[in-house]
Structure 1
Amino acid sequence: MVDTTQISEHMEVVGSDGQHVGSVDNLGIKLTKKDPLANGQHHYIKLELVASIDGGKVVLNVPASEAISMEKEVEN
């Protein structure tokens, strides 16, 4: 399990393929709604998808396309 205390606001979240998924808004992982891929909505990614923290980025254990399809959209 990754030490989630290393995850901070505005860190980039990338898939295992290195492709952009979003940016951390707060832990949960809540992605910012201002991110270009967010369509103006907050989305959450499950913490169990986090594989590592590398170079100031949150790296997931699934490719970006899979992570995006698994995101849970939430009302603002």
Structure 2
Amino acid sequence: MSYRSGEARKPVEILSEEGDVELVTAKGVESMEETDCLLRSHANAARLLAAAERVRKRHTLIGGTTEEQPAVVKESDDE
């Protein structure tokens, strides 16, 4: 099995009798490590989750509202 760059975004599940594992890209691991680091502080995690909720509810972002940030609005509208 082979993948070209950018083709494999989901983890590949590997099943075995000794235990199942998932193979992820190096970029995926880097992203998980960064998320882990950001969420270690309870205060930082609360701020990040509150900011994400504001974006989902289309309230304010740093520097203005989502209506003033067309790229963010367009991305969230496509989902």
- Report which of the two structures shows the higher radius of gyration computed on alpha carbons: 2
Structures share a fold, TM > 0.5? no
Normalized per residue, which structure has more strand? 1
Instruction: Point out which structure has higher relative CO (alpha carbons under 8 A, 6+ apart).
Output: 1
Normalized per residue, which structure has more helix? 2
TM-score tier by shorter-chain length is under 0.3
TM-score normalised to structure 1 length: 0.22
